């Protein structure tokens, strides 16, 4: 099914029957990716007296509780409320859901024992600067990212000037295939988050960061339409399902 939309005053056409899902599903299985030193999500039936919310156990419906952390357990989208003293919620930050997006593949550089995604790497990979969203795929790239346990691995991170560069281009939405744009242990500095959101000087309340995505190698670098689907939680972050569409 073809659809024509107006994005940044430009008409674009996509085939909605061919979505490219770049999210990681959340499950209660051990293969679920993890970060931030907590265990896997829990999905279990409600128990009330003798009644168990499971068809397998005799109930008429499956009726599960789900316990998870959006930042630690999979693809999620966050707003400036993630780092602000004042409460800001993702459900109020995101008012539109379709954006022009550029997929870029970058290789980190070893600096002082860390793997850093530099400004130069972003500049070299980003061919179209006038875009609403950037989707960063890091090398090496394999399907193991969908189940990787990241705690205490010192994953690659985005340099402060790289995040500042993305901010200065006016890019509103940043997506990356790591648990965080920042270093795992940085004593709370959060330099990339702060640079991208321009916090606390003049916070960008409607800009978002989406982390823990996975972009298969079959998706080539270049221009796409992004549909950023975010669960309607009153929280700084919520599970999300970013989907790309090729332009026709």
Beta bridge partners of 230: 240
pLDDT on residue 21: 98
Name the residue among 102, 111, 155 with its Cα closest to residue 130.
102
**How far is residue 8's CA from residue 27's CA, in Å, rounded to a whole number?**
36
SS3 string, 88-124, reads: CCHHHHCCCCEEEEEEEEEECEEECCEEEECHHHHHH
Tokens of 102: 């550029």
With 0-12 CB in 10 A as exposed, 13-18 as middle and 19+ as buried, what is 166?
Answer: buried
Average pLDDT over residues 161-182: 98
pLDDT on residue 10: 83
With 0-12 CB in 10 A as exposed, 13-18 as middle and 19+ as buried, what is 113?
Answer: exposed
pLDDT on residue 16: 93
Q: CB of 22 within 8 A of CB of 215?
A: yes
Average pLDDT over the chain, rounded to whole? 97
> What domains appear along the chain, each with residue ranges and CATH number?
2-27+70-246 (3.50.30.50)
pTM comes to: 0.97
Higher pLDDT, 185 or 3: 185
pLDDT on residue 5: 81
Whether 7 has a pLDDT exceeding 90, the answer reads no
* Least confident residue range of 1-5, 57-61, 86-90, 242-246: 1-5
Whether 6 has a pLDDT exceeding 90, the answer reads no
């Amino acid at each position: 099914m073809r659809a024509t939309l107006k994005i940044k005053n430009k008409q674009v056409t996509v085939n909605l029957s061919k979505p490219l899902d770049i999210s990681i599903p959340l499950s209660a299985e051990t293969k679920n990716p993890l970060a931030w030193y907590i265990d896997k999500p829990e999905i279990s039936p409600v128990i009330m007296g003798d009644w168990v919310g499971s068809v397998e156990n005799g109930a008429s419906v499956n009726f599960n509780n789900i316990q998870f952390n959006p930042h630690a357990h999979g693809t999620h989208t966050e707003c400036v409320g993630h780092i602000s003293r004042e409460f800001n919620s993702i459900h109020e930050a995101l008012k539109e859901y379709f954006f022009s997006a550029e997929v870029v593949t970058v290789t980190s550089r070893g600096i002082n024992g860390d793997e850093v995604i530099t400004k130069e790497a972003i500049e070299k990979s980003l061919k179209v600067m006038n875009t609403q969203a950037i989707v960063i795929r890091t090398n090496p790239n394999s399907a193991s990212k969908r189940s990787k346990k990241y705690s205490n691995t010192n994953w690659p991170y985005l340099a402060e000037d790289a995040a500042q560069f993305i901010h200065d281009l006016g890019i509103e939405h940043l997506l990356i295939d790591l648990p965080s744009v920042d270093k795992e242990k940085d004593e709370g500095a959060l330099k990339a988050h702060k640079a991208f959101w321009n916090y606390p000087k003049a916070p960008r309340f409607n800009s978002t960061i989406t982390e823990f995505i996975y972009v298969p190698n079959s998706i080539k670098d270049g221009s796409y339409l992004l549909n950023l689907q975010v669960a309607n939680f009153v929280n700084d972050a919520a599970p999300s399902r970013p989907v790309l569409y090729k332009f026709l």
